[in-house]
Amino acid sequence: MLLPRQLADRLRDRILNLIHLWGLAPGDRLPGIREVSAETGADHRAVSRAYRMLEAEGLVEVRGRSGVYAAQAIGSAGDLPRETERWIASVLAEARKRRIALPALPDLVRRTADTRRRCAFVESTEDHLVAYARELTNGYGLDVVSIDVRGSSVEALRDRLQGVDLVATTPYHTAVVRPVVKALGIPLVIIAVDPDAARDVAGALRQRLQQGPLTVIAADPAFADRLRTMYDDIVVREDQVRFVFANDEAAIAALDPTESVVLTRAAEARLTIAVPPVYMLHEPVLSSASVGELCRIIVQLSIGSD
């Protein structure tokens, strides 16, 4: 059973994802107490206490029976959102607790978060390879080598992993990648999607399907097969979601220009013609555990290189 503090931490991560990735604005409604209780199995009183903790932090406003809303404190008071200002202040305070002088902190961060590392990302769909490579490059500054594992022998995979500093993959390919990486002595990160972010995507998809069929423009048919499996509890009929592939320009040109579509980053990179308004780009949101493990390895590699 999750304790109120554990719930508060999970809810904070979820709200931050909504702020920074989904455009959550001050005054927007958040998942209610009973909704979170049903999702997590936690007692509604524990959820209520967790939200009160976040309210004390200035992140949410609990308005009685009206619900829970993003607080005005997430808005920007200058160059940074207020929530980010609070976080930076907490980092500086934690540094001083460890007897780290604030003027020394920037250099310490630079030395221990050196992300100029060559990272191999192993997957089996073009859409996942492009999306995760983008996240690892833009979010962590890694030099990413994308490896499509389809049809690769163990020997071929071993050869392609030579010379990289770390390897990342998804749970789909752990059984294949882990023995090879272990033999090479390279750190491995198993990247998982944040469950709350995945739940938010599923909720948005369910809400969108209530309006009618949805078109997904992707690059790789294998991605379409995986998406069908991931959302088989939401997409109950074949005609609810239509997949169009980026190399089929005739099908894309024939789309209704007023229709919103889901677009993957790989498909976006391939397109040479205009598409209808994009409803949602397929973007990975890494779990807290994945982010923590990735950052831990980056720090270890940086310290080991000194």
pTM of the predicted model as reported, rounded to 2 decimal places:
0.79
> Which CATH architecture group holds 113-192+287-304?
3-Layer(aba) Sandwich (3.40)
- Quote the percentage of the chain above a pLDDT of 90: 46
Helices (H), 120-263: 126-140, 154-160, 174-184, 195-209, 221-230, 249-253
Q: Is residue 104 over pLDDT 90? A: yes
Residues whose CB falls within 8 Å of the CB of residue 143, separated by 6 or more in sequence, listed in order: 116, 117, 118, 119, 137
Residue with the larger pLDDT of the pair 259 and 299: 299
User: pLDDT tens for residues 61-96?
Assistant: 888 888 898 887 666 555 566 777 888 898 999 999
The per-residue pLDDT for 250 is: 94
Measured N-to-C along each axis, helices 4-22 and 44-56 cross at an angle, to the nearest 10 degrees, of: 60
The per-residue pLDDT for 74 is: 64
Check whether domain 4-74 has CATH 3.10.180.10, yes or no: no
Please report which confidence band the pLDDT of residue 221 belongs to, taking 50, 70 and 90 as the band edges.
very high
Structure tokens of 138?
A: 């833009």
Query: CA-CA distances (angstroms) from residue 142 to 36, 46, 135, 137?
Result: 35, 39, 9, 5
Q: Is residue 100 over pLDDT 60? A: yes
Query: CA-CA distances (angstroms) from residue 41 to 103, 287, 289?
Result: 45, 20, 21
Q: Is residue 1 over pLDDT 70? A: no
The per-residue pLDDT for 135 is: 93
Domain boundaries, the chain: 4-74, 82-111, 113-192+287-304, 195-282
SS3 (DSSP) at 139: helix
Q: What is the mean pLDDT of residues 252-271?
A: 90
Q: Is residue 249 over pLDDT 60? A: yes
Q: Is residue 55 over pLDDT 90? A: no
Q: What is the mean pLDDT of residues 1-15?
A: 78
Residue with the larger pLDDT of the pair 38 and 122: 122
Q: Is residue 292 over pLDDT 70? A: yes
Indicate the burial class of 10 (C-beta count within 10 angstroms; 0-12, 13-18, 19 or more): buried
The per-residue pLDDT for 196 is: 78
Please report which confidence band the pLDDT of residue 54 belongs to, taking 50, 70 and 90 as the band edges.
confident
Q: Are 73 and 59 in contact (CB under 8 A)?
A: yes
Mean confidence (pLDDT) of the chain = 87
Please compute, for residue 166, the number of CA atoms within 13 A of its CA located in the half-sphere on the CB side.
Answer: 25
User: pLDDT tens for residues 127-146?
Assistant: 999 999 999 999 999 999 99
Alpha-carbon span 249 to 306, nearest angstrom: 51
**Which amino acid is present at 163?**
G
